[in-house]
Structure 1
Amino acid sequence: MTWQTVIKDIIFYILKVLIAILLIAAAFIVGTMIGYSVVGGAGEPMDVFNPEIWQHILDYIF
């Protein structure tokens, strides 16, 4: 095993991890938009990014 294959394996591993993180973030964003607007029936999907909504959610939890 040469150093080139080791570097190549490391780069592929890092790319896999980054892709997984991006997919998880995208699923979280889409899930919150669907959950807020469709399931919750609260309004526009983009309203979920309003900081006041998140403050209300945190106040409700704590």
Structure 2
Amino acid sequence: MSSITKRVVIQFILVVFVILLLIGLFFLGIFIGYVYVGKGQSSDAFNPATWHHILDFVK
């Protein structure tokens, strides 16, 4: 592999890693916000019915 190809592969891996890290932190933030800050049950944190109710309340 040439050095340019290696750099492109490394940059691609870094971008994918950062995107996955951001997605993971987003869901962690949802969990922490719902369970610890909002005092909800952990089993309801990712329940679609819960989020439909929250979105209906915001509308």
2:25 is matched with: 27
| Unpaired runs of at least 5, structure 1 | none
Instruction: Extract structure 1 runs of 4+ deviating beyond 3 A.
Output: none
| Unpaired runs of at least 5, structure 2 | none
Determine the C-alpha separation between the residues in 1 that align with 2:33 and 2:44.
Answer: 12
TM-score (norm 1): 0.82
Q: Alignment identity in percent?
A: 36
Determine the C-alpha separation between the residues in 1 that align with 2:40 and 2:19.
Answer: 28
Any idea what the Cα deviations from partners look like across 1:20-43, whole Å, max 9, x if unmatched? 011101111111111001000012
Aligned residue pairs total 59
CA RMSD of aligned residues (A): 1.4
